[in-house]
């Protein structure tokens, strides 16, 4: 069994599927397949640095509240740490540690010179005003000022954050060091050094991987029936791009509920409706209501979970009818559920591949920012597609050569590259 992290983490309740334990299980499986030395496995199973800071904030009503903010830096073997900042009530140190580890393998798989990191604050951003969120973000950034930077650790948006929060982080860091540093974060607005194509990047990457998987079956996106859990930045972008390519989006959902239409949804009309209704799709007049639980079990060609982790579990996996599952969220399919799906012949496109479009364009934004030379959206999309398709082809070939699942193939490629770099760099002192 992989050792536990150096710093104590919250204990998981018996009923809860611990994301960190699951991430370690995937690491163990890859290490076994690669026949890694136990010492290497021990190093890779521990985050290099775990930072937890107090974030005192004065609310608009004058009340003082203290929040806890985390930043876990898993590995910088291949380059600076990279990973999102998540604002969500369910954020825990275990979850952030798991996501930081997954970012390490994801960057290595895509051939990007980054290590993995993740950050988060346990809060519901809907319960705070814009001014309160700005104060929280700026204080959080100030507390991490020695632990982030364009050659150290480069945050990005994640669940509950956006280009707005990244602009606040970039400004706070720049004010503290005395000059503008656009490369300290990615996913920024265009006005302060963001990249064209970043907003749609994760959804576009998912679309590309689904397209390639269908092409391997001799199919195109035209007429393919798609169900998407989550209609935010990722799911909404994937829905729009898949719809444009001819796919039929028959169901989507948000945290408040979902909608279903056998004839396919009008995505442009739905996006306008959601924008006018606080990002909710519930009540859309051209569709029937459906729960998030029932949405996951609809008969379809492609299911795209793009919300949170642990959505398909041993409790509901037998009811899932999709032929292809593309993990646009991090860890939406549990280990047990994944094994059951593979046994049934369901193609599961793993998260470290299917949702990698965001970190790819974040990398391209970082490169543009460091060079102060910015590209048009066509070039950004072209560069991203090249990296995504290349990684997909490597995973497919690795899966066939080793006779292993796509998930294990993706993990062995990512873990193997980090392990090789660690071997080549050696252990200091």
- Percentage of residues in the chain having pLDDT higher than 70: 96
pLDDT for the residue 8: 43
Q: What are phi and psi of 78, to 5 degrees?
A: -100, -10
Q: Is residue 167 part of a domain?
A: yes
Both 278 and 314 in one domain: the answer is yes
Task: Report CA-CA distances (Å) from 125 to 117, 133, 136, 223, 272.
Answer: 22, 7, 10, 37, 22
pLDDT for the residue 214: 98
pLDDT for the residue 232: 87
Would you give the DSSP letter of residue 399?
H
Would you give the DSSP letter of residue 155?
E
Give 104-160 pLDDT, tens digit per residue.
999 999 999 999 999 999 999 999 999 999 999 999 999 999 999 999 999 999 989
CATH of the domain at 145: 3.40.50.10860
Cα torsion 207, 213, 219, 224: sign: negative
Both 86 and 226 in one domain: the answer is no
pLDDT for the residue 77: 97
The DSSP annotation for 328-347 comes to -SSS-B-HHHHHHHHHTT-E
Q: Which residues are catalytic?
A: 118
pLDDT category of residue 4 using cuts at 50, 70 and 90 = very low
pLDDT for the residue 277: 84
Query: Which two three-digit tokens encode residue 153?
Result: 């650790």
Rg (CA), the chain: 21
Would you give the DSSP letter of residue 192?
G
Q: Is residue 190's pLDDT more than 90?
A: yes
Q: Is residue 5's pLDDT more than 90?
A: no
Residue of higher predicted confidence among 278 and 55: 55
Query: Which two three-digit tokens encode residue 114?
Result: 């980054």
Q: Is residue 220 part of a domain?
A: yes
Give 376-390 pLDDT, tens digit per residue.
999 999 999 999 999
Are 221 and 242 in contact by the 8 Å Cβ rule? The answer is: yes
Give 358-370 pLDDT, tens digit per residue.
999 999 999 999 8
Both 143 and 224 in one domain: the answer is no
Q: Is residue 95 part of a domain?
A: yes
pLDDT for the residue 14: 38
pLDDT for the residue 286: 84
A 10 A CB-CB count for 321 gives 14
Both 77 and 168 in one domain: the answer is yes
pLDDT category of residue 429 using cuts at 50, 70 and 90 = confident
CATH of the domain at 265: 3.40.50.720
Both 135 and 205 in one domain: the answer is no
Reduced to 3 states (helix: H, G, I; strand: E, B; else coil), residue 47 is coil
Both 218 and 157 in one domain: the answer is no
Q: Is residue 242's pLDDT more than 90?
A: yes
State the average pLDDT over residues 306-332: 93
pLDDT category of residue 16 using cuts at 50, 70 and 90 = low
Both 209 and 324 in one domain: the answer is yes
Query: Which two three-digit tokens encode residue 14?
Result: 């018996």
Containing H/E element for 226?
strand 225-229
Residue that finishes a domain, picked among 334, 354, 374: 354
Give 248-289 pLDDT, tens digit per residue.
999 999 988 999 999 999 999 999 999 888 788 999 998 999
Please give the mean pLDDT across all residues of the chain. 93
Residue that finishes a domain, picked among 293, 325, 354: 354
CA 248, CA 261: separation in Å to the nearest integer? Answer: 10
Residue ranges of the annotated binding site are 82, 106, 202, 233, 362
pLDDT for the residue 350: 96
pTM for the full model? 0.92
Residue ranges of the annotated binding site for NAD(+) are 202, 233
Q: Is residue 1's pLDDT more than 70?
A: no
Helices within 372-405 (DSSP H only): 377-402
* Strand segments (E) across 28-114: 49-58, 64-73, 81-87
N- to C-terminal Cα separation, the chain: 26
pLDDT for the residue 7: 43
Crossing angle of helices 19-34/335-343, nearest 10°?
Answer: 50
Both 209 and 71 in one domain: the answer is no
Residue ranges of the annotated binding site for substrate are 82, 106, 362
Query: Which two three-digit tokens encode residue 49?
Result: 């640095």
CA 149, CA 71: separation in Å to the nearest integer? Answer: 13
Residue 245: exposure state from Cβ atoms within 10 A (0-12, 13-18, ≥19): middle
Closest CA to 141 of 185, 83, 91, 192: 185
- Total domains in the chain come to 2
pLDDT for the residue 19: 81
Domain housing 106: 46-181
């Amino acid at each position: 069994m992989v050792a536990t992290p150096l710093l104590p983490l919250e204990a998981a309740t018996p009923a809860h599927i611990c994301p960190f334990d699951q991430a370690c299980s995937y690491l163990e499986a890859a290490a076994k397949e690669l026949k890694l030395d136990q010492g290497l496995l021990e190093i890779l199973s521990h985050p290099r640095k775990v930072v937890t800071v107090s974030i005192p904030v004065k609310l608009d009503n004058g009340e003082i509240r203290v929040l806890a903010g985390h930043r876990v830096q898993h590995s910088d073997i291949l380059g600076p740490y990279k990973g999102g900042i998540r604002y969500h009530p369910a954020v825990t140190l275990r979850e952030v540690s798991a996501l930081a580890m997954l970012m390490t393998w994801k960057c290595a798989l895509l051939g990007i010179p980054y290590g993995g990191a993740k950050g988060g604050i346990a809060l519901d951003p809907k319960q705070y005003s814009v001014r309160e969120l700005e104060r929280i973000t700026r204080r959080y950034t100030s507390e991490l000022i020695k632990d982030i930077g364009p050659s150290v650790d480069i945050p990005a948006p994640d669940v509950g954050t956006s280009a707005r929060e990244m602009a606040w982080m970039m400004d706070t860091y720049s004010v503290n060091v005395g000059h503008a540093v656009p490369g300290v974060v990615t996913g920024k607005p265009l006005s302060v050094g963001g990249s064209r194509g970043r907003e749609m990047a994760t959804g576009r990457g998912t679309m590309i991987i689904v397209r390639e998987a269908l092409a391997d079956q001799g199919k195109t996106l035209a007429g393919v029936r798609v169900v998407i859990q989550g209609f935010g930045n990722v799911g909404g972008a994937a829905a729009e791009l898949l719809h444009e390519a001819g796919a039929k989006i028959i169901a989507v959902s948000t945290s408040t509920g979902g909608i279903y239409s056998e004839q396919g949804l009008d995505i442009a009309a739905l996006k306008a409706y959601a924008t006018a209704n606080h990002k909710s799709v519930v009540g859309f007049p051209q569709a029937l209501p459906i729960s998030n639980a029932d949405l996951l079990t609809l008969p379809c060609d492609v299911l795209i979970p793009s919300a949170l982790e642990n959505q398909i579990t041993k409790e509901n996996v037998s009811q899932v009818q999709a032929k292809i599952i593309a993990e646009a969220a991090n860890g939406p399919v549990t280990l047990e559920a994944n094994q059951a799906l593979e046994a049934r012949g369901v193609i599961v496109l793993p998260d470290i591949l299917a949702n990698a479009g965001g970190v790819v364009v974040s990398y391209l934004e970082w490169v543009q920012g460091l060079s102060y030379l910015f590209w048009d959206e066509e070039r950004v999309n072209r560069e991203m597609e090249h990296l995504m398709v290349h990684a997909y082809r490597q995973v497919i070939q690795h899966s066939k050569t080793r006779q292993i699942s796509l998930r294990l193939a993706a993990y062995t490629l990512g873990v193997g590259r980090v392990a090789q770099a660690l071997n080549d760099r050696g252990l200091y002192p």
